[in-house]
Amino acid sequence: MRNARLDLAAILATPNPQIDIKIKAYDDSTRSFLAAVSRYSNRAVAEITNRKNAHHSEKKRIADKTQQMQAETNQCKLKEIELINELEREQEENKEAESSVAALRRQLASIREQCALVDVEVEQYRTLTSNLRREKSKERSILDSHATRLSPELGACEIPLQCIIEGIDKDRLLFRFSHIDSSDLSREFSFVIDVSSRVYRVLTSTPVLPTLPILIDQLNESRDVYAFVKNIRLAFADLCSVH
């Protein structure tokens, strides 16, 4: 239609001049154009709808992702708070442990000092014990020497006195007499005396002497053991004469 040329003079020269404006072609072209515009509009609306739906989907996805990340962030914050509290507890426990270790170290140092002092005292006691043992050994040697020298004299005295002296235990002496009872010269009279302290004690007497407490008191006052032994023999003899 744009390329056709209209010969107006020729048209006017005809008996019934008419101009064919090609309404049908125009209608067809217009309908085609409107259909194309409608299709374009539909495609545009569909594209817009698709893009809108995609945008809503993406927006929802981002919102869900944001909510998830917010929840994870909150959980991380809670874990962070728990870790901070745990760290504070561990730091407090470390302080208490360090304090306990320091106290134990002080106690250990004190114990080591006490052990050193005890070692010194033990060494002193060992030296003292060694000295005492040497002194005791020396005294025992002296006593053994005296005993060896006095044994013959003791035997010579025991026979006429009819008295035998024996050590039966530590610091305990047994005195046995005979030839006291005229009716039975072999009858034995005895007593055991404890000389472990300054106060002498007679542990047993055979037979029992009623005057023994008085004799013991006299012994502890006079400290004269020989007189005490003599008085005991006389008391046994008096006891026999009474019976």
Closest CA to 216 of 197, 231, 196: 231
Q: What is the pLDDT of residue 1?
A: 47
Separation of alpha carbons 241 and 210, rounded Å: 14
Mean pLDDT, rounded, for 104-114 = 92
Token pair 């542990």: residue? 203
Separation of alpha carbons 212 and 234, rounded Å: 12
Q: What is the pLDDT of residue 157?
A: 58
Mean pLDDT, rounded, for 61-90 = 90
Q: What is the pTM of this model?
A: 0.40
